[in-house]
Structure 1
Amino acid sequence: MARTVRFHQAGGPEVLRLDDLDPGEPGQGEVRVRVDAIGINRAEVLFRRDQYIEPVKQFPSRLGAEAAGVVEAIGPDVTGFAPGQAVSVIPAFSQNDYGVYAEQAVVPASALVNRPDGIDAIAGAAVWMPYLTAYGAMVEIAGLRAGENVVLNAASSSVGLAAIQTANRVGARPLVVTRTRAKRQRLLDEGAAEVIVSDEEDVAGRVLDLTAGRGAEYVFDAVAGPEVVNLARVVASGGTLFLWGAQSGQPTPYPGFELGMPALNLRSYTVHEITRDPQRLLRATAFVSSGLLAGTFRPVVDRVFPLEQIVQAHEHMESNSQVGKIVVSVDHG
């Protein structure tokens, strides 16, 4: 039996329970992983509340899409992986079908990547989702180039920090937005070219000043909601505003009409565009692995909780006080 986190109804962190379940044997194209560490993501908070982009189909429901561990068993027709191999699980499946908040978990082999040498379980659970997300939107889809300006909000999240490092790796200029001054210096230390404090400064005016009135070629918005109109003001003519999160939980208007129909591209994006496409994923893992080996990419871990404190880990996520990734460690005794 394996301790497995499930929720029997939608709600706050308190609905999470540790149940003893048989992890089962891997089926066609599946692998069973001994989970050593779990990455906590905002998508799981939304799924737990049944506010995610896909609804919860049944209760009790499992949770979790990012982890690191060791392959225990492989199912029929699985190639490239073997028992004893150190791997990471990446978000490449629906949480209605699989979940990695557990001591052992069966997942699709297509959701596994080899864990590079020198990357331990904590780092292996913290690094992939942020960097795959950032690479996919910024490099694979946007084609971000050296010298271009990038605006990022929610910059102290794991994705925000990965986006800063990704922008720097390709020679772009990350202009980051944070709500309060408390995280300003940390963001500068993490590589931000400029930090704009939205509670104190006019975000649009500051970006336009920093770009000599041109605006940013790309804006990556993890918050959405009404503020999208203000962010759209800073997109350079012909530039693109990516919506890659909805932390505000509020309706998001289309800003084009209010702003007089500028040459604005508006695009939604999720990491599944990369992780569910084998060729894109191959390029993405090569990009991230090269950054890790070169030392220019690194996971930023805010805090590690034991599995027994999964409720507290989700409470910490919802506090929005973290800088970087929240990770849960799994002690197998």
Structure 2
Amino acid sequence: MARVVRFHEYGGPEVLRIEEIDVPKPGPDEIRIRIKALGLNRAETLLRSGNYIETPTLPSGLGLEAAGIIESIGKDVQALVPGDAVSIVPPVSMVRWPTYGELMTFPARLVVKHPALLSWEAAAAVWMQYLTAYGALIDMAKLRKDDCVVITAASSSVGLAAIQIANMVGATTIAVTRTSSKKQALLEFGAAHVIPFAEEDLEARLKDLTGPAGVRVVFDPIGGPIFGPLTAAMSRGGILIEYGGLSPEPTPFPLFAVLSKMLTLRGYLVHEIISDPVRLEAAKAFIINGLISGALKPEIAKTFPFDQIVEAHRYLESNEQFGKIVVTI
């Protein structure tokens, strides 16, 4: 028996329950892990509230990231053995492979021996944020040294990961956040420029910063009215990669900006990197090298004990955090 987090109905953080269940032994190509830490993600609040791209059968588990120690392995598992310290690449289905629990089973292909320099908390905060940012900026946009890249929702874990990855390749980072409350923290974290879009004219500020060249790459999880000023400041042939829909307002299609500048608007889910073995291996190598060099370092906003999972979800939805929320077991 092991304690896991499940929900029996959709709703707010209060629907989460810690229950004891039997965790199955690992089957072929599977690994069972004694979890030490969990990384929390927005997707988990969407699943819990019934607004996610995946529809669970209730009761359901949840969770996309974790780190821990291998307890046992199934048939045909290679290169990993009991006792290894590992972390989890987010599964395409968190309903099938949830991470919120003391003892959980995962496909061996999603289990990574992370660098030994990482704490459990940091290891649980690696893969969702860095894979998401890598897939957009490096795999798709081919970000390069002379680029200006706009990163919206910049104080989120993915936004911070994007700043670090852009800095790794020498691009100029323009962090966009709602208010100036996190401006100084973003500058200290490594953003070259910060624009609080609720307080300043976003289009005008972007044009001031980039001049005639404009912005070649935009990385955005918000959508909504922000599309207008973002695309107006983009360069000819630029690419806007949309990986979320946080805005409750409709997202207008900026037809004339797209036509006149021949822009690419690209919808993106990290699943396309995770589901492609070749692209995933390239991403893992890039990220591990960055972690070892120190160029990539997960920012932990706050940690909670496992028994406070409800409080952790409340904090996740508060938008007060700067970086990743982690739960320890």
The residue correspondences of 1:55-66 to structure 2 (distance < 5 A) are 56-66=55-65
Deviation at 1:140, TM superposition (A): 1.1
> Residue 170 of structure 2 corresponds to which residue in structure 1?
171
Deviation at 1:227, TM superposition (A): 2.1
Segments of structure 1 that go 5 or more residues without pairing to the other structure are none
> Residue 184 of structure 1 corresponds to which residue in structure 2?
183
Deviation at 1:250, TM superposition (A): 4.0
> Residue 88 of structure 2 corresponds to which residue in structure 1?
89
Cα deviation, 1:101-134, whole Å, max 9, x if unaligned, reads 0001111112111111111211100122111111
> Residue 47 of structure 2 corresponds to which residue in structure 1?
47
Deviation at 1:257, TM superposition (A): 4.9
Tell me the distance in 1 between the aligned counterparts of 2:5 and 2:249.
29
CA contact (8 A) 1:154 1:160 kept: yes
Tell me the distance in 1 between the aligned counterparts of 2:109 and 2:270.
14
User: What letter matches 1:263 in structure 2?
Assistant: M
SS in 1 for 2:90: coil
More helix by share: 2
Tell me the distance in 2 between the aligned counterparts of 1:195 and 1:258.
24
Matched, 1:215 2:214: yes
Deviation at 1:260, TM superposition (A): 5.8
> Residue 12 of structure 2 corresponds to which residue in structure 1?
12
CA contact (8 A) 1:256 1:264 kept: no
> Residue 323 of structure 1 corresponds to which residue in structure 2?
322
User: What letter matches 1:57 in structure 2?
Assistant: P
> Residue 29 of structure 1 corresponds to which residue in structure 2?
29
The residue correspondences of 1:228-307 to structure 2 (distance < 5 A) are 228-257=227-256, 262-307=261-306
> Residue 200 of structure 1 corresponds to which residue in structure 2?
199
Tell me the distance in 2 between the aligned counterparts of 1:69 and 1:251.
41
Deviation at 1:256, TM superposition (A): 2.1
Number of aligned residues: 329
CA contact (8 A) 2:114 2:288 kept: no
Runs of 4+ in 1 over 6 A off after TM superposition: none
Cα deviation, 1:159-198, whole Å, max 9, x if unaligned, reads 1011001001001001011111110000000100100011
Tell me the distance in 1 between the aligned counterparts of 2:125 and 2:248.
24
CA contact (8 A) 1:40 1:326 kept: yes
Segments of structure 2 that go 5 or more residues without pairing to the other structure are none
Structure 1 vs Structure 2: percent identity of aligned residues?
50
CA contact (8 A) 1:5 1:101 kept: yes
Deviation at 1:249, TM superposition (A): 4.0
TM-score, scaled to structure 1: 0.95
CA contact (8 A) 1:217 1:239 kept: yes
Tell me the distance in 2 between the aligned counterparts of 1:250 and 1:10.
23
Coordinate RMSD, CA, aligned: 1.4
CA contact (8 A) 1:92 1:110 kept: no
Tell me the distance in 2 between the aligned counterparts of 1:31 and 1:251.
43
- In 2 relative to 1, CA 265–193 (structure 1 residues): closer, same or farther, beyond 3 Å? same
